[in-house]
Amino acid sequence: MSVYHPKLTAGLWLAGMLAICILGGQALTKDWLETSFLALLPSNEQQPEIAKATRQHNQLSNRKVVWLAGAATSDEAIGHAQKLKQQLEQSLLFNKVVLEIPQQQYIRQYRQLFPYRYQLLDAQTQAILATHPEQLIRQNLEMLNSPIGQMQAADLERDPSLIFSRYFNAQNPVKLNLEQGIVVLSDRQRFYALLLTELQDERLQLDKLEILSNLVDGATEQVKADGGELLVSGMPLFTAHGAKAAKQEISTVGIGSSLGIIVLLWATFRSVRPLLLSSLAIGSGLLAAWVICVLFFGKIHILTLVFGASLIGVADDYAQHFLCDSFGEKDWNPRKGLKFILPGLTLGLISNLLSYAGLGFSPFPGLQEVALFSAMGLLVAWLTVVLLFPLLLTGFKFDHQPGILKLTSYWEQHWPLWVSKHRRGLSLLLTVFIAGGLWMLTPQDDVRLLQSPPAELLRTADKIRSLFPMSPDNRFFLVSGQDQADWHQNEQRLLQRLDMLKQQKSLTAYEGLSGYWPDVNRQQQNYRLLKQKLYDSGLLEHYMTDLGFEQTAVKAELKQFASAESNTLALPEWLATADEAKQQLWLGCDSGRCQSTVALTGISDAGALTELQDLPGVVWVDQVEAVSSLFARYRIRASGLLLAAFCLASLGLGFKFGWRNSVTIMSVPVVSLAVSLAMLGWFGQLFSLFNLFALLLVLGIGVDYGLFFFMAGDRRASTSLGVTLSALTTLLAFGLLAISSTEIVHAFGFTVTAGIVAALLCAPLIGLKTISSE
Amino acid sequence: MILIKALLLYLLACGLGVADEAVLTEIAARLAKTPIAQGDFHQHKQLKILHKPLVSKGTFTYDQSKGVIWKTLTPVVSLLLVNESKLLTGQGEQAVPAAFGKVFKAMLGGDLAALTDGFNITGTDRKTSWQLELSPKDEMLKKIISTMLLSGDTELRWLEIREAAGNVTRITFDGITHPAQLTEEQEADFERLSP
């Protein structure tokens, strides 16, 4: 910027902002806010099929909300649930509200599968038939004579051997008690009527999530007022809570930091112009960041906005530096000011952009958004300062000595002296502090720390899980085969092992398609097994006669069996009869591969399950574990990134100012980083990938402060004011992040706060000796 | 049997029954009042499609707080355990079958609210014996059970379940005693029901 044309540059700026406003107008018409927690996570980086399976596996649970209306008697519970059902239907949030289990579906499924009854055998029946067919007859007699055998007795006419009744019951391994067609669960103190709902969209918009939250709160109060108890759980509730908390935090952080900055600036400049100019710089930065992010990513996550709100503090640095420079010289004008601060501002911007570029290389969509958002925000704030301020600051002059300037001048002069006087004791103290903190620092990469739902929500979820153990775990198996037969064989092998683990109580239930649908080979085997053990052996005839069937009925049954020999039921036909949860297990066949998932419930020994992935075609998918280990890997990678950014900045500074000076400037970020890490250790804070990104920010800001002081020359007083003001504004922003209830946001805020305070303390020590050399 | 007695008292207390109050009071007054009852049963199930009945015999134990043990001895030995929240049979834990489950529990496990809410009840009381007729109000239950008849003196002696499909189950109870406490074997069976 050797040529100074304030009007031209301001015109450029205006044109650019106009373009952004027009684009922004378009962006606003779209649904641009993302609230789903899952959108923050990287789509599985290993294999696309695992990503696909994961998506399909989560599809149902992402929309499902489970409601349990409890009361002292089951009738009261059902009453509460019926009232609730009406309320939920009126809300128009759900595309499905299920209270009475639809009997029609069972009846239809029974009719559709019945013709294939000699081909469809459940695993238990297969085993009994193969080894002790007479045991099957015994069990039939037991069921028929039981005082609860009404259903079997009713089936007996169509299905004398009851094999289809057995198969049909095995389809629903978890037995639920029905009253008036409604599932009623009990924990011995209360009865709970179950209501299942499904939201219309998998990814709910914020306003809908708010409606959901309010609906849950309102309904809970309502049921309580009626003397009952309402338990509600489901993924959308967790999302809703996260969105609500984030929204509150955005306004707290945004309003808090804006207010703080206004007060600070007013106290310093006692003029509206700097205030407006700062707001303009921040505002255009945020607007541009928002528009570009929405255009680039399509949607922007609410957490990005939380971080973005804190950007106010950083974007303000440039404006402060320019404005404060005006205190540095008697006959100051914008032209001279810009000439003096431009190198420092530019280097500062570059070092910050480098730090954010680091974020952009992580595979986490959330962090990429934060990176782009921050980089764009800063770039545009910088452009505003450089292009627009010269024009708007024309004729600007302070005629007062702000109190804070006296304070920062005093500070800038006396603090370095005090430090140098006590340098031995201080360096020892600092060394011990840093060493101790680092010693206690332990990384935590568990992805669950990302979300910190309130304990009550978790307790309710646990309670519901214990009452209604039907929600599958988010861990599952992915089974593949070259063709349907190969897949079937692989899955069968897995299910056999799972059955053993189930008996050892490693898990409570599992669900795989091959357990319900025998493939064509197996269907023929089943038929042959029945033929050999029951029909040809005369066992069935004997049993039917003994039981009191007419001879004509016996003959009819034998004839039906004989004529069903060539029946086969293809998988698509079977799937068409199955419920949504089972249909979801099938991933389909393509390019020489068939795949399915096996859902698991009530896992208590995950170790035993992971061992099963040695089976052919079986992959254990643990999304939480996968993302957590991804976090760990990227934490290490981000450490490398931090080191690279550090080296790059050192190199650049070394090239420009010489190695010795580079080391001097870089000592500010180094000490800041070390102190920040040590603080995390001392306070037992969460240390994960996200802190490292905060450290990248500390690095950038540390370099800024070091540079500003290094280049201050005889303008140390105004530099001190600029740095202090920008540090205070940044602290206001990030200090407020530290109060966040979301662990990672809190950790981010804490790390940056510690780092900035350290940088603020270190920076004035730089540049004292360089005055003579300049 | 205590549960019938309690049922009748409950009917009176709530005023829900349509039976003549005086009759119910009389019947309630006649029933023995103890927390434990045990005896033999003889079940005679006539299914429409079979030309001879399914006959089974065994023993039952009722414990007011613990539930019911239904032990079939012939034609095959099998055990059924039930309380308010759980049903165990030879095939493991079962769902209590739709609607009827509740009735069975109510009959043998003492879930009285279910019976009074779900049935229209009429009764007669004669010198030697009393009789109650229960017909379901619930549409779903009506599809399975048309009526249930209960008869007895100081005990419940006889129970008949007429299914809508035409099947009829008759259960008679003999040798009913009211021991002060459960045997070790009975305790062990009930233990399996506790979670």
* Residue in the structure block whose two tokens are 């906005």: A305
**CA dihedral defined by A434, A438, A440, A442, rounded to 10 degrees?**
150
Residues A294, A374: one domain? yes
Average pLDDT over residues A300-317: 70
Residues A380, A431: one domain? no
Q: Which of A506, A532, A564 is the last residue of a domain?
A: A564
Tell if the CB–CB gap between B76 and A142 is shorter than 8 Å.
yes
- Confidence check: pLDDT of A567 > 80: yes
Domain of residue A118: give its range.
112-173+523-564
Residues A370, A428: one domain? no
- Confidence check: pLDDT of A329 > 60: yes
- Confidence check: pLDDT of B109 > 70: no
The model's confidence at residue B14, banded by pLDDT at 50, 70 and 90, is very low
- Confidence check: pLDDT of A487 > 90: yes
Average pLDDT over residues A31-56: 70
Residues A392, A425: one domain? no
Residue A334 belongs to some domain of the structure: yes
The model's confidence at residue B9, banded by pLDDT at 50, 70 and 90, is very low
SS3 A408: helix
Average pLDDT over residues A215-231: 90
The model's confidence at residue A628, banded by pLDDT at 50, 70 and 90, is confident
Lowest mean pLDDT among A254-268, A492-506, A744-758, B10-24: B10-24
Per-residue pLDDT tens digits for A409-434? 888 888 888 888 888 888 899 999 99
Average pLDDT over residues A31-35: 71
Residue A155 belongs to some domain of the structure: yes
Q: Which of A371, A400, A429 is the last residue of a domain?
A: A400
Q: How far apart are the first and last CA of chain A?
A: 22
Residues A386, A416: one domain? no
pLDDT at A574: 92
The model's confidence at residue B107, banded by pLDDT at 50, 70 and 90, is low
What number of other Cβ atoms are within 10 A of residue B62's Cβ? Answer: 25
Lowest mean pLDDT among A322-331, A337-346, A518-527: A322-331
Distance from CA of B187 to the nearest CA of A (A): 19
Residues A300, A322: one domain? yes
SS3 B91: coil
Residue A162 belongs to some domain of the structure: yes
pLDDT at A37: 57
Mean pLDDT value across chain A: 84
User: What are B121's two structure tokens?
Assistant: 């009840």
Residue A725 belongs to some domain of the structure: yes
Q: Give the 3-state DSSP-derived string for A291-302, with helices as H, strands as E and coil as C.
A: HHHHHHHCCEEH
- Confidence check: pLDDT of A291 > 80: yes
Residues A336, A423: one domain? no
Residues A745, A694: one domain? yes
pLDDT at A49: 81
- The interface pTM score, or ipTM, of the predicted complex is 0.81
* Domain of residue A301, CATH code: 1.20.1640.10
The amino acid occupying position A727 is A
Residues A275, A394: one domain? yes
What residue in B sits closest to A179 (Cα-Cα)?
Answer: B99
pLDDT at B8: 44
Q: Which of A229-238, A309-318, A640-649 has the highest mean pLDDT?
A: A229-238
Q: How far apart are CA B39 and CA B57, in angstroms?
A: 11
Tell if the CB–CB gap between B99 and A177 is shorter than 8 Å.
no
Average pLDDT over residues A670-675: 93
Domains of chain B: 2-193 (2.50.20.10)
Per-residue pLDDT tens digits for A84-129? 999 988 888 888 888 887 778 888 888 999 999 999 998 889 999 9
Q: What is the number of structural domains in chain A?
A: 3
Residue A744 belongs to some domain of the structure: yes
- Confidence check: pLDDT of A212 > 50: yes
Tell if the CB–CB gap between B84 and A186 is shorter than 8 Å.
yes
Tell if the CB–CB gap between B80 and A148 is shorter than 8 Å.
yes
- Confidence check: pLDDT of A772 > 50: no
Residue A731 belongs to some domain of the structure: yes
Question: What count of CB pairs under 8 Å joins A to B?
Answer: 105
**CA dihedral defined by B171, B177, B181, B187, rounded to 10 degrees?**
-30
- Confidence check: pLDDT of A31 > 50: yes
Q: Which of A400, A427, A462 is the last residue of a domain?
A: A400
| A751-754 contacts, C-beta under 8 A, 24 or more apart | A751/A676, A751/A679, A751/A680, A751/A685, A751/A691, A751/A694, A751/A695, A751/A698, A752/A676, A752/A694, A752/A697, A752/A698, A754/A675, A754/A676, A754/A679, A754/A680
Could you tell me the strand order of the sheet in which B92-93 lies?
Answer: B92-93, B87-89, B78-82, B67-74, B54-63, B36-46, B168-177, B156-163, B145-152, B130-136, B119-125
Lowest mean pLDDT among A316-320, A577-581, A651-655: A316-320
The model's confidence at residue A250, banded by pLDDT at 50, 70 and 90, is confident
Per-residue pLDDT tens digits for A361-394? 766 777 788 888 888 888 898 888 888 888 887 7
Residue A527 belongs to some domain of the structure: yes
- Strands A300-301, A33-34: pairing kind: parallel
pLDDT at A759: 92
The share of chain A scoring above pLDDT 70, in percent, equals: 93
Tell if the CB–CB gap between B97 and A150 is shorter than 8 Å.
yes
B 122-141 residues with CB < 8 A to A: 138, 140
The model's confidence at residue B102, banded by pLDDT at 50, 70 and 90, is low
pLDDT at A83: 92
Residues A393, A414: one domain? no
Q: Pick A540 or A260 by higher pLDDT.
A: A540
Residue A168 belongs to some domain of the structure: yes
Q: How far apart are CA B81 and CA B87, in angstroms?
A: 6
Residues A357, A420: one domain? no
Q: How far apart are CA A461 and CA A397, in angstroms?
A: 62
Chain B residues within 8 A of A150 when measuring between CB atoms: 97, 100, 144, 163, 167
CA proximity to A337, closest of A320, A322, A348, A318: A322
pLDDT at A420: 83
Q: Are A277 and A393 in contact (CB under 8 A)?
A: yes
The model's confidence at residue B5, banded by pLDDT at 50, 70 and 90, is very low
Tell if the CB–CB gap between B95 and A176 is shorter than 8 Å.
yes
Residues A425, A370: one domain? no
Q: Are A183 and A177 in contact (CB under 8 A)?
A: yes
Residue B194 forms contact with A (CB below 8 Å):
no
- Confidence check: pLDDT of A599 > 80: yes
Chain A residues within 8 A of B98 when measuring between CB atoms: 151, 178, 181
Tell if the CB–CB gap between A150 and B47 is shorter than 8 Å.
no
pLDDT at B112: 45
pLDDT at A592: 83
Tell if the CB–CB gap between A144 and B54 is shorter than 8 Å.
yes
Give me the helices (H) in A578-715, please: 580-583, 606-610, 623-657, 659-682, 689-710
